[in-house]
Structure 1
Amino acid sequence: MKFLVTGAAGFIGYHTADRLCREGHDVVGLDNLNDYYSVELKHSRLDLLRRHANFRFERLDLADAQGLAELCRREGFERVIHLAAQAGVRYSLEKPGVYADSNLVGFVNILEACRQNAVGHLVYASSSSVYGMNTPMPFTTDAPVDQPVSLYAATKRANELMAHTYAHLYRLPVTGLRFFTVYGPWGRPDMALFKFTRAILDGKPIDIYNNGEMSRDFTYVDDVVEGLCRIQALPPQVGEQGEAPAALYNIGRGEPVRLLDMVECVERALGRKAIRNYLPLQPGDVLQTWADVDALAQRTGFRPATPLQVGIERFVQWYRDYYEDGAARSPA
């Protein structure tokens, strides 16, 4: 089939586009190549994707409604995998307008382009951050999510509501995936695993928030891509009572890990000890995430299972190959 993958120069977008190309699909990757983190890293991902004869890159900002509409009209995509967004909880405290442009205006433009061009299934990235400070564990997709604690989380919840509206009004099949702390090779420099690895190798302290009293449901990127590729082939249908063709799933390992245990995994993979700088909880952070993935498993027959130590070792190997063997590169 023919796919549009937004955010193709990003972490999950790169892995998804690569997988789809390997499966023989035609893929157009879209990205605006912003400088939220290293543009060089984004270009390196794109260089690998361009090795596929069935991949083509379009540099375009989601806020460009006309450009996006023209692209979709010209290409006639059968599937849209929407992974582009302004990421980062803490950055949303500094640059709220960027989140409105990318995550709200950009998402409306995606919905409109899909509606106007009869896309067969829109799969989009949501986030575990929508659960906020909810205490019942594990998180289920029918849990209340009306108290976000960051603007980033609020924009992701807004995306879910907007997608449901388009499914209801226009019968556009939409599926949202709530990602839980995705990590792995080619990961983002603003994520904890990347920061910890860089700091430990440089002999610098790592910042551990809430004195380490936090846990996350870490999910290896290959597991995320497997679930995503399976779900894209299963567009939701209009229900017997006329319900909208909209679905939401958690995609996580289903096993929360203490932040301090994660740090120990990094130390083992690097063969070095971290210098630990304990700090209070930061605004917008949550104490724990834990995904209930039963619905995803029932729908796709797949349940993420990569152990954290294995995934971290693969990340560390990639990091060393990319940065230590490429001395001119900067991990910033």
Structure 2
Amino acid sequence: MAGSQTRYPILQLQDHSNDLPALQSFYRDVVKGLESIPKSLPSRYFYDDRGSELFQKITELDEYYPASCERDILSGQSENICRYFGDDFGLIELGPGDGHKSYHILQALLSRNTSFRYYPVDISSGAMEPLQENIQDLQGLEFHGLVGDYETGLQYLAGREQRHVVLFLGSSIGNFSLSESADFLRRIRMSLHEGDVLLIGFDLVKDPSILIPAYSDSAGVTAEFNLNLLERIKRELNAELDAEAFIHHAAFNPRNHAMESFLISTEKQRISIQDPVSGLKSFFDLAAYESIQTETSQKYTGADLQDLACKSGFRIEADFMDSRGFFTDSLWIADAR
């Protein structure tokens, strides 16, 4: 997918490199998580530039089946998927990664001579570089990159396009609980018009023997991804902690159908974190082998999808599944509010 180095326009909706309010929010969320019982850290902070790079590596691992399952879907069914999109719309992709997921969609739309504008939205400006490299050969693509969080991107585009098709590919929706997912999807619906389209990836419930290696791979990339969150806290919040004393652990929770990831401190230690505004430090004690939960990755049943769509103002129009039935890209239509 490489080609000549065309540079596409990128609009910086938010710049978190020198964003004190964002840094203060990061600080508050970390403090809140470390004060809670049991301790936790929000998974949304995984994705600094290094975290985004590591996650891309995860998607290339054999154990990480969601990526291969979705490639199976999109490489074989994009033509059929695009028939539901219509013509003349803004194609908004939330978290495009390096473009491998949406490449087949873009290619199918261009081959059909569909009129559309492509708006990839990512919190990390660094994520736009590999994306641009991997879509070089898509002649005629109208590309408008947006750097900011998803809701800021959707709000920016709400009045700029008459019709919207939103791609939320991969399994990122699983980072929310079922109730949080419904809230997030309702906020997406608020930025859309009746009849707009949402294509969203869901990882389906399956055997734990398949799930666990996907979140604790043999090469240790997922462990590095998880541990990178500590490095970000050290760097951005002037934290003092022994990152080398932490190990990554992943387990399946059969009660709520979710994979859960943890950082476990193998020794007793005290963590200090500096308030970016006041400069004051907060201290947190960890016992030996105390855990900090960093991620919940929800897995879904068909009933879960129906319930989520109904609660968030959508109806399910079609489901596109891989050959093993592990994953679905579900196509939803925005209902009347």
TM-score, scaled to structure 2: 0.36
**Higher RCO structure (Cα 8 Å, ≥6 apart):** 2
Q: Which has the higher strand share?
A: 2
- Quick check: which has more Rg, 1 or 2? 2
